[in-house]
């Protein structure tokens, strides 16, 4: 037989992953939008806009890989300290993404949750979020958890107050966990931060007690499926001992 002229099919990046050792929940600190934009002589908001494509690709990749939950740190309680024009643009962008991506999210069987003090967000964004949560509620695939107006210390304070209000006099771990914004989700197994910074930045402080931390120097707007697969591959090499030997 003559040799085949068709090139052998390239291995998909995820083929190197062990399906039996996938993280159930991945949390991402999407950092470096501003620096990415500045490195290209663009305004900072151009970095946030470019970051939307990374969000899209990451959601699709997590769905394809059968990840249960993906939490994205989209806006922290500290981000209000940014210039008003940048905050407004971020809010507008989030609303626009929810409006334009809803069909694609539905096609990918994605459910939506929001973690944070929602009441502090612009009313139009709150309605859009509530609508999107409702529209996607019948899906059964990836849970996309958007951390918005989110701060982990505030979350713990809110959880403790809610647990006390529900009649608890002495609280245990379960009482607090079950009142966190993330109640019902598995704790993140893998926490990814882009742009090389080695900080936790008030993100999921309770839930990441035993998460594996992965930092990449890639700025968020350049983060692609191959980077996600790299992070998961590294996670799969870690020996998780949860404090035991």
Single out the segment in contact with ligand FPP by CB under 6 A; choices: 20-28, 29-37, 121-129, 132-140. 29-37
Within 10 angstroms of residue 32's Cβ, the number of other Cβ atoms is: 24
Q: Which spans in the chain are helix H?
A: 33-39, 44-64, 84-107, 123-135, 152-165, 173-177, 225-237
Single out the segment in contact with ligand FPP by CB under 6 A; choices: 44-52, 107-115, 116-124, 168-176. 44-52
Q: In what order do the strands lie in the sheet with 111-115?
A: 111-115, 143-150, 69-76, 25-29, 190-193, 212-215
52 binds ligand FPP (CB under 6 A): yes
DSSP states of 56-108: HHHHHHHHHTT-SEEEEEEEEGGGGGS-HHHHHHHHHHHHHHHHHHHHHHHHT
Of the candidate residues 55, 112, 218, 231, the single one contacting ligand FPP (CB under 6 A): 55
Per-residue interface string for the shown chain with ligand FPP, residues 64-93, x marking contact by CB under 6 A: --------x-x----x-------------x
Single out the segment in contact with ligand FPP by CB under 6 A; choices: 5-13, 24-32, 183-191, 224-232. 24-32
Whether 135 and 109 have beta carbons less than 8 Å apart is answered as: no
Single out the segment in contact with ligand FPP by CB under 6 A; choices: 45-53, 102-110, 115-123, 227-235. 45-53
- Name the residue whose CB lies closest to ligand FPP: 34
118 binds ligand FPP (CB under 6 A): no
Residue 101 or 160: the one with the smaller Cβ distance to ligand FPP is 101
Of the candidate residues 22, 70, 94, 211, the single one contacting ligand FPP (CB under 6 A): 94
Residue 180 burial (C-beta neighbours within 10 Å; 0-12, 13-18, 19+): buried
Per-residue interface string for the shown chain with ligand FPP, residues 212-231, x marking contact by CB under 6 A: --------x-----------
Residue 73 or 235: the one with the smaller Cβ distance to ligand FPP is 73
Q: Mind telling me the catalytic residues? A: 31, 79
**Least separation in angstroms between CB 76 and ligand FPP:** 7
Structure tokens at 160: 């403790």
Residues in binding contact with ligand FPP, number by CB under 6 A: 19
155 binds ligand FPP (CB under 6 A): no
DSSP label of 20: G
Q: Which residue in 199, 196, 203, 237 sits closest to 218, CA to CA?
A: 196
DSSP label of 162: H
Which parts of this chain interact with ligand FPP (CB under 6 A)?
30-35, 48, 51-52, 55, 72, 74, 79, 93-94, 97, 146, 195, 220
């Amino acid at each position: 037989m003559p040799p085949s002229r068709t090139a052998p099919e390239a291995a998909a990046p995820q083929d190197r992953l062990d399906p039996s050792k996938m993280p159930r929940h991945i949390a991402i600190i999407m950092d470096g939008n501003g620096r990415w934009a500045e490195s290209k002589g663009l305004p900072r908001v151009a970095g946030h806009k470019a970051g939307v494509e990374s969000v899209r690709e990451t959601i699709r990749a997590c769905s394809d890989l059968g990840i249960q939950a993906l939490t994205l740190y989209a806006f922290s309680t500290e981000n209000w300290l940014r210039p008003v024009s940048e905050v407004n643009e971020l809010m507008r962008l989030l609303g626009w993404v929810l409006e334009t991506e809803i069909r694609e999210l539905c096609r990918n069987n994605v459910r939506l949750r929001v973690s944070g003090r929602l009441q502090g967000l612009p009313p139009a964004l709150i309605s859009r979020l509530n609508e999107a949560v409702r529209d996607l509620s019948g899906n059964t695939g990836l849970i996309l958890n958007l951390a918005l107006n989110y701060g982990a210390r505030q979350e713990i304070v809110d959880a403790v107050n809610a647990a006390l209000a529900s009649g608890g006099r002495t609280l245990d771990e379960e009482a607090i966990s079950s009142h966190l914004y993330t109640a019902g989700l598995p704790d993140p197994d893998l926490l990814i931060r882009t742009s090389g910074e080695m900080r936790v930045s008030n993100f999921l402080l309770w839930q990441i007690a035993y998460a594996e931390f992965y930092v990449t120097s890639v700025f968020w707007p350049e983060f692609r499926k191959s980077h996600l697969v790299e992070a998961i591959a590294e996670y799969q090499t870690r020996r998780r001992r949860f404090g035991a030997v």
